[in-house]
Structure 1
Amino acid sequence: MQSKHLRLTLLLALGTFCASRPGPAPNLAGCWTNQLGSTVSIEVAEDGTLRGTYTSQVSSTGDQVKGDLIGYQQMFNQPTFGFAVKWTTESVRGSVTVWTGQMFNTHGHQTLMTMWLLRNNTETIGNNWSATRTGQDVFRHCGVKCESTEGSGDLGSQWKCDSSVGA
């Protein structure tokens, strides 16, 4: 009888241990949109390296600008990350922006809370004081891919999450 209780106790302990083990860490793969309608598309390698593209709806020229993204993600339940964007659109070429932040899963929604630094290229050291800007962005997960929709109106209306994938 004591042997049966011991086995039952061990089975319950093992079941509790297995049930409490976390699943694979979430990652930043997919499409994300911020509060201004800018969109980032990210692919994540097994080692946490990030690659992708960023399309900003806001710029000093007032035009949509694009850039190449590279960065890293720490593989935790609510991962931390950092990425840099080298702007490739002619009007902002020479500028680089870096973001750092953390992904949060709240009420079934994935959100990236970030801070950023934008460095503009400057011709002289005298202009150094105004060449770096700071700010924050909140991104929401849109799904697997980003989709461009032509249109006009509010800043966020030109880029939408693809409605064919789960938001």
Structure 2
Amino acid sequence: MAPTACLLLCLCLFLGGGRARTTEAPKTPGKCHLEGTWVNELGSRMSISALDGEGRFSGSYLTGVTASQNPIRTSGLTGAQRQGAQPTFGFTVLWSFSDSMTVFVGQCFVSESGEETLETTWLLRETVPSHSEDWKATRVGTNTFLRLK
């Protein structure tokens, strides 16, 4: 074997660890469905209805946390979902017990084991008495929801 060919073979074996590499095709996750009941890490629960033909849905949201002094009550939500196996979506909750509303945007992911997860980011806007207090009117956060079985 020529010295150059030997050097190339040795380099390939060294970089490859001396073993043949195989590549497995990535597993295709199942399709994510928003319809159903979900719970997040704070104990908030939401129920989402079936999507209509244009991807719109409605439902209810019972928060596990609040800054309001009022008793927590279930609130309505409305939203829409894009098409796809792991779709993006957004929805608005108009809180029934406070002068605020929250908008959520997120994506539904399906793991290789079939578990569905909703990863969301939200903005909560509450009413403030004056423009000078606008600076404290909006909060931002994230939540992860798992399907309640």
Interval of TM-score (by shorter of Structure 1 and Structure 2): 0.7 to 0.9
Q: Deviations over 1:56-93 (max 9, x none)?
A: 0100136434311011001110010000000112xx1x
Contact kept, 8 Å, 2:32 with 2:110, in 1: the verdict is no
* Equivalent in the alignment of 2:39: 33
Residue 134 in 1 paired to residue 144 in 2? no
* Equivalent in the alignment of 2:6: none
Aligned residue type for 2:94: K
Q: Deviations over 1:86-127 (max 9, x none)?
A: 0112xx1x2010000000001210000000000001110011
TM-score when scaled to structure 1? 0.66
Aligned residue type for 2:56: T
SS at match of 2:93: strand
Q: Which of 66, 74, 77 is the equivalent residue of 1:66?
A: 74
TM-score when scaled to structure 2? 0.74
Aligned counterparts of 1:65 and 1:48: Cα–Cα separation in 2: 27
Aligned length: 118
Q: Which runs of 5+ in 1 are unaligned?
A: 1-21, 143-166
Q: Deviations over 1:22-64 (max 9, x none)?
A: 9x95321010000011001001222210101100010013643
Q: 1:3-152 residue pairs with structure 2 within 5 A?
A: 25-43=31-49, 44-61=51-68, 63-89=71-97, 92=98, 94-106=99-111, 107-142=113-148
SS at match of 1:98: strand
Aligned counterparts of 1:25 and 1:105: Cα–Cα separation in 2: 7
Q: Which runs of 5+ in 2 are unaligned?
A: 1-27
Aligned residue type for 1:46: G
Contact kept, 8 Å, 2:32 with 2:116, in 1: the verdict is no
Aligned counterparts of 1:120 and 1:65: Cα–Cα separation in 2: 16
Over the residues paired in the alignment, what is the CA RMSD in angstroms? 1.7
- Work out which of the two has the higher radius of gyration on C-alpha atoms and give 1 or 2: 2
SS at match of 1:129: helix
> Runs (4+) of structure 1 moved beyond 3 Å?
none
